[in-house]
C-alpha cells in the first residue's frame, strides 16, 4: 500500500489497519482520477468542446476563462471535476479519524518535546493574514492555524498525513521531494555557493525544510510560518527525525530577522496561497534579509504565461473548486517584475524547470541540474517525468 510507506516519526499519529486501507484506496483513486481520467479532459476539449465553441463564435476560445465557461458544461468535465473535488474531501475525512483519536496524547507528546537540536520560538502577537484565515485552503477543514484546544497540533497532523495520501508517496517517505529537489539543485548547479544560513518561508510541518540541512549539513537552518499548530508540530517532528531547525513564528511579509542575515532564502508552494500584496511584501523581505551574493529561490506551480489556454484552465481548476482562491492570481503574476520591484537586478533573475529529484534519479537529475534550462509546457504528467518550477534571483 503506498500510504503505508510514510516514515513513522514520533508525532505522526498511528492509523489503524482500516484507516490505512481507506487512506491507501483514496490515494490510488486520486491518482487514477488525475491521471487516467484527467488525461481525457484535453481530448474532450479538442474533439467536442472547442469545435462547438468555434461553430457558435467563429473563433476559438481566447483564454482560460472562456474555456472554463464551456468546459464545465461538458458531462465528462463535470464528472471529472466532481470526482476530483470529492476525492480531495475524502482525503481529509480519511485522516481526521486517526488524528482525532490521537489528539490529547499527541498534543501532550508534542508539547513536552525538548529542544535538543533546534528550537521553537512562538510569538502570540503574530496574526494569521486575512488572505489565509478567510477560507479552508485546499478544503482542509480548520486550515493550518485552528487550535481546537489549548496547545493543539491537530491541524498539523492532519496536513502531515493528508499530504502523504495526496501525493501517494511520490514525494518520498517523509514527503520531502520538493525541498530535496531545491537543495540538490542549488548544490549541483552552483557548487561554489555554500550557504551558511538558510531560511525556509511558510514551512508548515517542515517536510520540505529538513532536506536543506541534509544536503547542507554545515548550514544553520531557519524556518518561519504563521500557524502555531504547524510550528509546534514541525519542531517536534524535526527533533524526532534528528534534524536541527530553528523554527520561528513570523509573518514572512514582515520578519524580525536582521538585514542581510541569510545566504539562501527558499519557499515551497507558498505563493499560490498568498495574496498579490503578500507576494510583493514577501519578495521585498527576501531581498532585505539576503546577504549580497545570496540567493532567493521559490518552488511553485508553473506560470500561466507560455501555456496554452487549455493548459492554463486545467492548471487553475483549483482556484475554482479546491479553495485555492489565489491560484489564478499567482499563475498570472510576473515573478520577474515582482523580483525587480523588490530590489533584485533583472539580470540576476533565475527561472528554472527541473525534474523531481526522486522521480528522475541521481544521474538524470544531476545532468538536468548542471545542464541548460529546460523549456516545459508546464503540465506535470503522472507516470512520466515530474517537473518542478523555481523562481528567484541572486542579490
Smallest separation (angstroms) from ligand SAM to the CB of 208: 3
CA distance 171 to 299: 14
204 binds ligand SAM (CB under 6 A): yes
Sign for the pseudo-dihedral over CA of 369, 262, 213, 179: negative
153 binds ligand SAM (CB under 6 A): no
Integer-rounded Cα radius of gyration of the chain: 21
The secondary element (H helix, E strand) that includes residue 248 is strand 246-249
3-state DSSP assignment of residue 208: coil
Using CB under 6 A as the criterion, what x/- string covers residues 241-260 for binding ligand SAM? Answer: ----------xxx-------
| Residue whose cell numbers read 507558498 | 270
Smallest separation (angstroms) from ligand SAM to the CB of 234: 9
Instruction: Tell me the site size for ligand SAM, rule CB under 6 A.
Output: 23
Residues 13-52 that bind ligand SAM (CB under 6 A): none
278 binds ligand SAM (CB under 6 A): yes
152 binds ligand SAM (CB under 6 A): no
Question: Residue 391 contacts by C-beta under 8 Å, 6 or more apart in sequence?
Answer: 297, 298, 300, 335, 339, 350, 351
Question: Residue 374 contacts by C-beta under 8 Å, 6 or more apart in sequence?
Answer: 353, 354, 368, 387
CA distance 329 to 347: 25
Smallest separation (angstroms) from ligand SAM to the CB of 52: 37
Binding-site member from 19, 160, 263, 273 for ligand SAM (CB under 6 A): 273
Smallest separation (angstroms) from ligand SAM to the CB of 17: 27
224 binds ligand SAM (CB under 6 A): yes
- 80 vs 176, beta carbon nearer ligand SAM: 176
323 binds ligand SAM (CB under 6 A): no
Report whether 248 contacts 236 (CB < 8 A).
no
CA distance 259 to 280: 17
270 binds ligand SAM (CB under 6 A): yes
Smallest separation (angstroms) from ligand SAM to the CB of 44: 30
390 binds ligand SAM (CB under 6 A): no
End-to-end CA separation in angstroms for the chain: 45
2 binds ligand SAM (CB under 6 A): no
Binding site for ligand SAM (CB under 6 A): 129, 132, 144, 178, 202-204, 207-208, 224-227, 230, 251-253, 268-270, 273-274, 278
Amino acid at each position: 500500500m503506498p500510504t503505508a510507506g510514510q516514515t513513522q516519526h514520533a508525532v505522526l499519529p498511528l492509523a489503524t489497519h482500516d484507516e490505512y486501507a481507506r487512506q491507501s484506496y483514496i490515494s490510488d483513486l486520486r491518482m487514477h482520477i488525475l491521471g487516467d481520467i484527467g488525461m481525457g479532459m484535453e481530448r474532450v476539449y479538442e474533439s467536442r468542446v472547442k469545435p462547438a465553441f468555434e461553430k457558435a463564435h467563429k473563433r476559438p476560445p481566447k483564454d482560460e476563462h472562456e474555456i472554463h465557461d464551456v468546459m464545465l458544461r461538458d458531462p465528462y468535465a463535470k464528472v471529472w471535476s466532481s470526482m476530483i473535488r470529492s476525492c480531495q474531501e475524502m482525503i481529509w475525512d480519511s485522516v481526521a479519524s486517526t488524528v482525532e483519536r490521537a489528539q490529547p496524547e499527541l498534543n501532550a507528546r508534542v508539547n513536552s518535546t525538548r529542544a535538543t537540536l533546534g528550537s521553537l520560538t512562538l510569538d502570540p502577537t503574530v496574526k494569521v493574514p486575512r488572505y489565509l484565515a478567510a477560507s479552508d485552503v485546499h478544503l482542509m477543514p480548520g486550515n493550518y492555524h485552528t487550535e481546537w484546544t489549548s496547545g493543539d497540533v491537530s491541524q498539523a497532523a492532519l496536513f502531515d498525513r493528508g499530504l502523504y495520501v495526496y501525493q501517494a508517496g511520490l514525494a518520498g517517505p517523509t514527503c520531502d521531494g520538493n525541498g530535496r529537489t531545491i537543495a540538490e539543485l542549488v548544490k549541483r548547479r552552483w557548487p561554489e555557493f555554500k550557504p551558511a544560513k538558510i531560511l525556509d518561508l511558510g514551512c508548515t510541518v517542515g517536510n520540505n525544510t529538513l532536506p536543506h540541512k541534509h544536503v547542507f549539513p554545515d548550514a544553520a537552518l531557519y524556518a518561519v510560518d504563521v500557524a502555531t499548530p504547524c510550528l509546534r508540530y514541525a519542531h517536534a517532528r524535526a527533533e524526532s527525525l534528528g534534524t536541527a531547525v530553528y523554527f520561528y513564528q513570523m509573518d514572512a511579509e514582515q520578519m524580525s530577522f536582521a538585514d542581510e542575515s541569510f545566504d539562501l532564502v527558499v519557499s515551497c508552494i507558498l505563493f499560490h496561497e498568498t495574496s498579490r500584496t503578500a507576494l510583493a511584501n514577501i519578495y521585498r523581505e527576501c531581498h532585505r534579509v539576503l546577504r549580497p551574493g545570496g540567493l532567493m529561490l521559490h518552488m511553485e506551480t508553473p506560470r500561466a504565461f507560455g501555456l496554452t489556454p487549455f493548459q492554463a484552465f486545467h492548471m487553475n481548476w483549483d482556484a475554482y473548486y479546491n479553495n485555492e482562491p489565489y491560484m489564478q492570481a499567482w499563475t498570472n503574476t510576473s515573478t520577474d517584475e515582482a523580483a525587480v520591484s523588490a530590489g533584485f537586478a533583472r539580470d540576476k533573475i533565475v527561472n528554472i524547470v527541473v525534474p523531481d529529484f526522486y522521480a528522475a534519479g541521481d544521474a538524470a537529475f544531476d545532468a538536468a541540474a548542471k545542464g541548460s534550462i529546460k523549456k516545459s509546457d508546464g503540465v506535470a504528467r503522472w507516470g512520466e517525468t515530474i517537473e518542478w518550477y523555481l523562481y528567484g534571483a541572486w542579490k
